[in-house]
Amino acid sequence: MACRGGRMGGARSAHVQIELAAPRAVFAELLAGALDRALPPPTPVAVAYLIDLLDERVRAPECAEPAIDGGLLLASAGEPDAVRLVRLRRLGDAALFVAGFFGDSLARAPFGPTPTGEAGRLAYGALSTALARLAAEHTWRRLYEELADRFRDFADLLAEVGERTRGGPPPGLACLYARYLATESTRDRHRLLRLGALAPELRGLHRPQ
């Protein structure tokens, strides 16, 4: 069974549905409903950041699939600090959005979602480290540190929002199984447990028939 939905088709569908209401209010409600009560809640600053990210991507769907290259983390010779900080933020945001909202597509990609997730974590981590030198940026430093440390949790949140936004049936068992193997997502693990497809005492999976 194939995972459903392509990246750009999903982006167009989400854009059409979100146009019917105020995007920020819709995303705030969807994020609240997608929170995993078994995990520590995100800080209010992180929640606001995720809402802004979703709102920005819906308003500019052509930005939904930027090139994500971990090599961009390396600063060019003579690059001003301000330029590097902006580039790191854009890389982290692009990786988080794609790893979450379009996670199904990444799970089917030849190299899976790992390179995208690693690029995002490293970008946010480097941004937090760079801001540590600026006393006035303490709140932002802690925010990007949280985004780096909990990148997978936040990608799961965006994945849930993506599914609810696009509508349609939930992913099938085979799709969940493949995605969990690729990402080790806590969200997908809970789903597999509820479906009886995961053997928690053995920390292994029952392969779907």
| Structural domain spans, the chain | 7-168
Contacts of 153 (CB under 8 A, 6+ apart): 36, 39, 42, 186
Q: What is the pLDDT of residues 30-39, one digit of tens each?
A: 889 888 777 8
Q: In the prediction, which pLDDT does 50 show?
A: 95
Query: Model pTM?
Result: 0.72
Residue 109 CA to chain centroid, in angstroms? 16
Q: What is the pLDDT of residues 45-73, one digit of tens each?
A: 999 999 999 998 877 655 544 456 555 55
For residue 141, list its beta bridge partners.
none
Q: In the prediction, which pLDDT does 189 show?
A: 76
